[in-house]
Amino acid sequence: MSESTQENLTVLFEDNHVIVVLKPQNVASCPDESGDDNLLDRVKAYLKEKYQKPGNVYVGLVHRLDRPTGGVMVFARTSKAAGRLGEQMKSGDFDKRYLAVLNGTPSPREGTLTGWLKKNTVNNMVYLTTQAADGAKFASLDYRVLGEADKLSLAEVRLHTGRSHQIRVQMAGIAHPVYGDMRYGGERAQKGRLALWAYSLAFTHPVTGERLRFLCEPPKESAPWSLFDLAPAFDIG
């Protein structure tokens, strides 16, 4: 599908019901207390300008990516589409896959991580906890190592639950934090931009019923992505 860029927004796909865009790293998914520039407002501005819409433009937030994480996101252009995509999120019909550069190599090289997470809203940190803890939420993901270089590994991560900071916390929990994640990796995480990228998103179109998948590479020219062959991740059956 064609990719077009208008000003500060990269659009991967759009029709009357959904719009799929690339979220840059360090841009918020939606407005928050910081008041910073955010992707939801960018999408609204893009649609308002392109279609010369008067007044407010409806854009439904279907899912989020953490601010430091870049990659593919879908927004709804109608309330009906938003509702149906939201149902897919709950049922697990969304297929969200990430690429992450990890410090060290997990053993086994492929597996499932499950546990319970709790967010501290005061410091915006998420912690591993127990099921009995107040506010604990179940978290599950699959990972597989795709390559190794310079004491780092490239892993594909497939989320089964969409918890805040989930990949970062669960990978740090097995002593293999994401590259550049000083918040959760501490001294174990090498310094640099967070190497976590939402590279694949698949869902069922809320109106046509067509199964759609969108792929987007991380900035492979820059470290640490440049250390790895990313091709195996894009061989999705």
**Confidence (pLDDT) at 83:** 97
**How do residues 147-206 score in pLDDT, each as one tens digit?**
999 999 999 999 999 899 999 999 999 999 999 999 999 877 888 899 999 999 999 999
Cα(58)–Cα(44) distance, integer angstroms: 7
Q: 40: which 2 tokens?
A: 């939801």
Q: Which residues contact 137 (CB under 8 A, 6 or more apart)?
A: 116, 117, 118, 161, 163
User: pLDDT at residue 3 above 50?
Assistant: no
Going by their DSSP bridges, the two strands 152-159 and 95-103 should be labelled as: antiparallel
Cα(219)–Cα(64) distance, integer angstroms: 20
Q: Does residue 93 carry a catalytic annotation?
A: no
Bond into 224 cis (ω within 30): yes
Tell me the residue type at 217: E
Tell me the residue type at 236: I
**Choosing from 66, 134, 142, 181, which is the catalytic residue?**
66
Answer positive or negative: Cα dihedral of 8, 6, 99, 84.
positive
Domains and their CATH numbers in the chain: 4-234 (3.30.2350.10)
**Residue 24: DSSP 8-state:** P
Q: What is the pTM of this model?
A: 0.92
**How do residues 77-112 score in pLDDT, each as one tens digit?**
999 999 999 999 999 899 999 999 999 999 999 999
Q: Which residue has the tokens 């759009």?
A: 14
**How do residues 126-135 score in pLDDT, each as one tens digit?**
999 999 999 9
Cα(137)–Cα(117) distance, integer angstroms: 5
Long-range contacts, 171-177 (Cβ 8 Å, 24+): 171/100, 171/102, 171/106, 171/113, 171/143, 173/113, 173/115, 173/128, 174/106, 174/113, 175/104, 176/102, 176/103, 176/104, 176/105, 176/106, 177/102, 177/103
